[in-house]
Amino acid sequence: MTRKSKKIGCDSCHWTGYVIDDSSTNARAVLCECIENCEECGGSGNILSENENGYSYLALCQSCGVIRRNVKLYNISGVPAKYAHVLQVDAGLDPKRMNTSLQKALKYAKQEFVKKYPTKNGFLLMGPSGLGKTHLAVGTISELTLKHGVKCMFKDFFYLLSELKQAYSEGSPENDVILPLVETDVLVIDELGKGRSNEWELNILDQLISKRYNASKKTLITTNYVTYDIAKEIGDKHEILEVRIGDRIASRLYEMCEFLYLEGRDFRKEQKKAQKSQ
């Protein structure tokens, strides 16, 4: 497994080999010119190698092959453009300004989940809006795709259900609809429980979660709802997660994810306040 990669990159791409474009709905990584003109492979991304038995085979270019592959993975992950700047778990997060719950979540996401992928459980981030739940989830899959070469997918719960509904109503075979969501190594479901889910929608969600559970795939979830236990402890009258998604799905999630409760002040409100006072 010893690897001798040649350092590639330039100042324009901050030595990453790609730049991020946020001009469309989803963020897109674009290969930097320095990669396009790779001296090792001439920009093809592959080089002809020979194994110990003398057979030739096409191998990934040691200089740019990994970057090319990972950029493709990032581009199909569906990271929303507004999170284009979040390329790693701790991007833009200042430890001195984070409360303990966010630091703990960050520690789990970065030190445990990403660095020790795929040996640790996924995570479920719960708590009020504006605390950085989606930021952490996006940072996690951005780092996993761009640096670890893991296939990930980001889905807003609401849109996920709409897409599934549309596909079913168009008569697409069930497997065509649900399979890509099951097969992806890491799936982010953002804002789980948002909207009034009917029985059919919960049934589809149940199928998806169960299939991912059986396939030992990692699932990351963000939600504004809290579990019974947390609601009891904080004395919150919030709607309960188990009520929104049903005990069966919640029980699966308990096995698949570390449940992390985030608390604190809404950073969007704080930002707005700060802007007003300037």
Partner 1 sequence: MGNNPDYIREIEKYFLSLAGKGIMLSSMDYALILEWRNKEIPLEVILKGINRAFEKSKLMNGLETTSIRNLKQCVQYINSSIDEFRPIIGKNKGKDDSLDEGYTLDIVVDRLSKYIESAKEEVIRNYYIDMKENILRSANENSPNILSLSAKIEEESLQKFFMKLPKLEREQISLKAKNTLGDRARHMTDQALEESIVSFRNEIISNKYRLKNIFSLTEDNLD
Alpha carbon distance 195, 21 (integer Å): 31
- Minimum CB distance to partner 1 smaller for 73 or for 208: 73
Binding mask 221-260 for partner 1 (x = CB under 8 A): ---------x--xxxx---------------------xxx
State both tokens at 21: 């474009």
Counting contacts by CB under 8 A, is residue 1 touching partner 1? yes
Among residues 9 and 80, whose Cβ is nearest to partner 1? Answer: 9
Q: Does 95 bind partner 1 (CB under 8 A)?
A: yes
Helices (H), 31-94: 33-36, 65-76
What is the spatial distance between Cα 142 and Cα 79, in angstroms, rounded to a whole number?
Answer: 8
Q: Which lies closer to partner 1 via its Cβ, residue 189 or residue 260?
A: 260
Q: Kindly tell me which residue out of 72, 85, 147, 211 binds partner 1, with binding defined by CB under 8 A.
A: 147
CA distance 141 to 124: 14
107 binds partner 1 (CB under 8 A): yes
- Name 240's bridge partners: 226
Q: Is 134 exposed, middle or buried (0-12, 13-18, 19+ CB in 10 A)?
A: buried
Ranges of beta strands (E only) in 93-243 are 122-126, 152-156, 186-190, 218-223
Which of 189, 177, 247 has its CA nearest to residue 218?
189
- 174-193 residues near partner 1, rule: CB under 8 A: none
Q: By the 8 A CB rule, do 72 and 17 touch?
A: no
Name the residue nearer to partner 1 (CB basis): 225 or 259. Answer: 259
Provide the 10 A C-beta neighbour count for residue 142: 26
Nearer to partner 1, 21 or 90 (CB): 90
264 binds partner 1 (CB under 8 A): yes
Candidates 47-55, 100-108, 166-174, 269-277 — which segment interacts with partner 1 by CB under 8 A? 100-108
Candidates 34-42, 134-142, 144-152, 247-255: pick the segment binding partner 1 (CB under 8 A): 144-152
Q: Which of 14, 115, 268, 269 binds partner 1 (CB under 8 A)?
A: 115
Cα-based angle 97, 110, 251 (whole degrees, multiple of 5):
105
Task: Please report whether residue 149 would count as binding partner 1 according to CB under 8 A.
Answer: yes
Residue from 54, 116, 237, 255 touching partner 1 (CB under 8 A): that is 116
Distance separating alpha carbons of residues 148 and 152, to the nearest angstrom: 11
- Phi, psi (rounded to 5 degrees) for 100: -60, -40
Note the residues at the interface with partner 1 (CB under 8 A). Answer: 1, 3, 5, 60, 66-67, 69-70, 95-101, 103-104, 106-108, 111-112, 115-117, 119, 143, 146-150, 230, 233-236, 258-261, 263-265
